[in-house]
Structure 1
Amino acid sequence: MEILKVSTKSNPNSVAGALANLLKENDRVEVDTIGAGAINQAIKAVAIARGFVAPIGLELFCVPAFMDIVIDGQPRTAIKLIVEKKQP
């Protein structure tokens, strides 16, 4: 599965374009985020990507999940979005 890492500084339009392109070739993409700002940018990107793929007949949905990671030796909790495509 392809993985996109999104931060607070990520541009939602750029992430949406990358997400849409990956979903044209893959059934699902994982979007990893740490922090409220990053999840905000990721959710905006998923909403924008829906508009990018709708004209070619794809519908997107996402499943959020927690994941435990370690940064600089410290355990942290991140949120990942599993974004999948569904053809009507």
Structure 2
Amino acid sequence: MDFLKVSSKSSPASVAGAIAGLVKDGLPVNIQCVGAGAVNQAIKAVAIARGFLIPTGVDISCAPTFSDIEISGESRTAIRIAIYVHRISAPTTSSRASEPESPELAS
């Protein structure tokens, strides 16, 4: 499984664009981060990506898990964040909102 690898120096807007692009292409999105700064950037990217996607009728959520990985022969604990896609309907405007109140409700 491939991961978007996010570091503390990653641009949240760039990572958000990658997330949104993969979601729009129908591909699975998984993020891997090591360290608090990297996790911070990744979560900001998820929030930004939601802002990109919601107007298109798509929402996302995420679920973090711990994972032991090896970097340069050293064992490290990573946070892996799975992105879940939810189709949403566009908000509808109700004609009821512009109708006057019925006499029974007005007081």
Structure 1 CA distance, aligned partners of 2:26 and 2:2? 8
Q: CA deviation at 1:2?
A: 4.7
Give the structure-1-normalised TM-score. Answer: 0.93
Matches within 5 A, 1:1-80: 2-26=2-26, 28-80=28-80
5+ residue gaps, structure 2: 89-107
Structure 2 CA distance, aligned partners of 1:68 and 1:59? 29
Greater fraction of residues in helix: 1
Structure 1 CA distance, aligned partners of 2:82 and 2:20? 13
Aligned length: 88
* Structure 1 residue identity aligned to 2:46: V
Structure 2 CA distance, aligned partners of 1:24 and 1:35? 28
Structure 1 CA distance, aligned partners of 2:75 and 2:26? 31
- The 8 Å contact of residues 27 and 84 in structure 1, kept in 2 or not, is answered as no
Identity %: 53
Greater fraction of residues in strand: 1
Q: Choose 1 or 2 for highest CA Rg.
A: 2
